[in-house]
Amino acid sequence: MDKFDDQYMLLEQLYEDSFYPDFLVDKLKYLLEDFINYLETNPKNQAEVEDKIYELIMNVNNFQYEFLDNDSEFDNLARECLLRDLEYILHWFHFPIDVEKVRSTREWD
């Protein structure tokens, strides 16, 4: 499997906005990097990748209150940025997974 695009800036829009604390964006970025590493190193089928995406989203859910505790919010902009990056990652690795389907499984408020 190919390596991920090393020129792509994950969560760039969140890093550029001071509303989102960098240390929390770093945690989200780590989850995406872990997902990328999974795609780079493991043979998989679409169902396995969808399960891994679900796991990623459940982990993201754990950060919602941490954002609030730091005078921020995991709001629509942050969600859209994360999903846009996830869509790019899936496209890069040639997985035809509908991000809208992924969106429907999320538990974000």
Q: How does pLDDT run along the chain (109 residues), one tens digit per residue? A: 579 999 999 999 999 999 999 999 999 999 999 999 999 987 678 888 988 988 898 898 888 899 999 999 999 999 999 999 999 999 999 888 887 776 665 565 4
- Distance of alpha carbon 40 from the chain centroid: 16
Q: Distance (Å, rounded) from C-alpha 94 to C-alpha 68? A: 35
* pTM (whole model) above 0.85: yes
Q: Distance (Å, rounded) from C-alpha 77 to C-alpha 82? A: 9
- Distance of alpha carbon 65 from the chain centroid: 17
Q: Pick the closest to residue 104 from 79, 73, 78, 67 (CA basis).
A: 79
